[in-house]
Amino acid sequence: MNTEPSKTYFDEMRSADGLVREIYQPYAAWLSQLPEGTLERKSQEAELLFRRLGITFAVYGESAGSERLIPFDIVPRIFGATEWRRLEKGIKQRVRALNAFLHDIYHGQEIIKAGVISAHQVLDNVLYRKEMQGVDLPNQVYAHIAGIDLVRVAENDFYVLEDNLRTPSGVSYMLENRNTMMRLFPELFANHTVEPVEHYPQMLLDTLREAAPAHVSNPTIVVMTPGSYNSAYFEHAFLASQMGVELVEGQDLFVHQQKVYMYTTEGPQQVHVIYRRVDDDFLDPLAFRPDSALGVPGLLEAYCSGNVSLANGVGTGVADDKSTYLYVPEMIRFYLGETPLLSNVPTWRLSESEDLKYVLAHLPELVVKEVQGSGGYGMLVGPTSSKAEIEAYRQRILAEPENFIAQPTLALSTCPTMVEAGVAPRHVDLRPFVLSGKDIRLVPGGLTRVALREGSLVVNSSQGGGTKDTWVLED
């Protein structure tokens, strides 16, 4: 079994001298006494379990309805409670600032007046929704559900890779991963005090209740999905059922006199909070894309009238844009008067000629991303790309430099992972899910994504990445 630490990357389980880190010691001890072949067998059991449960995601570009399993890795990633609390503080700080920023840019725009960020950067962004100007949201929360992607490069060195404020997904895998681990390894949980994550749906429900229009005391809440062929449909259905609310599609809703109703077997029923997993553009064919069949005509007007709440709010995308990302540390200082606890990855903006020049000269070393891209699509990972790929990408950059940012290739930490050849280190990131209502809360841990291909730094499930259970243990 190869659990040798990597020499060049931070290994979550072993320090450079090969010793197992303290937090991993009980797990490593358990692992070492495991009879040969047990992990392989458990891994197969896990796959069967996932298939039977239908924990799948649909794959774009393949025939309609084709479903795939996200590979599940049975070696957990482990955090100590102390380091987790530190991370948690930084994450909450970041989300608080992002919500303050969103409220500000749709109201007084103080941050622009103060010259911290340019009017062009905010107001000319295609994800900025003028319709939202002056609209007051309950608790001034825009991003009720945020997924903050973190990577680790050293013991105490975490970077925020990106902030996902539109419809971040993956939380169902976090919950099902835990569920599966508890089923496969009850003895591990009996001997470890793993902080629970199972109450996430209850926290989400509380958050959505708190998002209801102020005059509504017992809100009707729904989850809105684009439909069963959406890649994250499993998650939409999962969350609706875990919260005990209806899972609706656009066709199930209609707007009458600026109020939203759903068609039920007992006639129309008013809806107060919509946890929508449909992008802004598709929400309302009258306001946004007229060709959208997924949305509800008149929804935006009902929303702006304050009769229905949307989570996340309309227009949050402007704050998770990869070029706005650069300003988050400034936002923390500006709105909270605090020092940022988590670092940004150093980022070059290709709209700046100096940055552009540097990046074009160093493409093979850098990661270049589209400003509005997501899901790992359309990015260039310099060190693992061919010359031809780099040249093709260079042409794209030259055509529209302002569409791109570039970052150094980070030495993402690795975590022992089951692969065909046995257990070997693979790169991981972490997506905690942050809920903003009256308070900001999150369950300990999050979704760890793992790049299953040796050497790969791309962990996105759409790019063949897998996931693993994430433990927060008492130190």
Partner 1 sequence: MLARTADNLFWMARHIERAENTARVLDVAHRSALLPLDIEGTEAYLWYAPLNITGCAAGYEVKHGLARADTVTHYMALDPENPSSIYSCLKLARENARSVRGAITSEMWEVINATWLELNRMTWNMDNEKFPDFFDWVKDRSHLFRGVTLGTIHKDIALSFIKLGTFLERADNTARILDVKYHILLPSVNDVGGAADYYQWGSLLRSVSAFEAYRKIYRDVISPLRVAELLILRDDMPRSLHACMNEVEAALIDINGASGQEARRHAGEQHAALHFGRIEDVFAQGLHEYLTDFLSHIAVLGREIRDAYMSCRDHFEPLPVRRSPMLQMQ
59 touching partner 1, by CB under 8 A: no
Q: Of 18, 54, 346, 383, which lies in the binding site for partner 1, with binding defined by CB under 8 A?
A: 54
Q: At what angle do helices 387-399 and 353-361 cross, to 10 degrees?
A: 170
53 touching partner 1, by CB under 8 A: yes
286 touching partner 1, by CB under 8 A: yes
Paired with 254 in beta bridges are 261
217 or 265: whose CB is closer to partner 1?
265
In the complex, the smallest distance separating the C-beta of residue 432 from partner 1, rounded to whole angstroms, is 25
Residue 134: count other Cβ atoms within 10 Å of its Cβ. Answer: 8
In the complex, the smallest distance separating the C-beta of residue 226 from partner 1, rounded to whole angstroms, is 13
Q: DSSP code of 323?
A: T
Report the b/e string of 217-245 with b at 16+ CB within 10 A. Answer: eebbbbbbbbeeebbbbbbbbbbbebbeb
Cα(426)–Cα(451) distance, rounded to whole angstroms?
Answer: 6
> Closest Cα to residue 404, out of 362, 381, 373?
373
Structure token pair of residue 129: 């929704």
Q: At what angle do helices 171-184 and 38-53 cross, to 10 degrees?
A: 130
44 touching partner 1, by CB under 8 A: no
What values do phi and psi take at 53, rounded to 5?
-75, -10
Is residue 461 within 8 A of residue 447, CB to CB? The reply is no
263 or 377: whose CB is closer to partner 1?
263
Cα(62)–Cα(164) distance, rounded to whole angstroms?
Answer: 25
Binding mask 170-189 for partner 1 (x = CB under 8 A): --------------------
What values do phi and psi take at 222, rounded to 5?
-135, 160
Cα(447)–Cα(439) distance, rounded to whole angstroms?
Answer: 21
317 touching partner 1, by CB under 8 A: no
In the complex, the smallest distance separating the C-beta of residue 198 from partner 1, rounded to whole angstroms, is 14
255 touching partner 1, by CB under 8 A: yes
> Closest Cα to residue 4, out of 349, 424, 295, 311?
424
197 or 296: whose CB is closer to partner 1?
296
262 or 380: whose CB is closer to partner 1?
262
Q: Which amino acid is at 150?
A: L
Binding mask 205-224 for partner 1 (x = CB under 8 A): ------------------x-
Q: Of 265, 339, 386, 395, which lies in the binding site for partner 1, with binding defined by CB under 8 A?
A: 265
Stretch that binds partner 1, among 114-122, 255-263, 409-417, 464-472 (CB under 8 A): 255-263
264 touching partner 1, by CB under 8 A: yes
123 or 286: whose CB is closer to partner 1?
286
Cα(382)–Cα(447) distance, rounded to whole angstroms?
Answer: 26
Stretch that binds partner 1, among 162-170, 189-197, 265-273, 347-355 (CB under 8 A): 265-273
In the complex, the smallest distance separating the C-beta of residue 257 from partner 1, rounded to whole angstroms, is 8
Is residue 12 within 8 A of residue 428, CB to CB? The reply is yes
Stretch that binds partner 1, among 140-148, 294-302, 321-329, 384-392 (CB under 8 A): 294-302
Cα(370)–Cα(374) distance, rounded to whole angstroms?
Answer: 8
66 or 251: whose CB is closer to partner 1?
251
Site residues (vs partner 1, CB under 8 A):
51-54, 130-131, 223, 228, 233-234, 237-238, 240-241, 245-249, 251-252, 254-256, 262-268, 286-287, 297-298, 300-301, 304
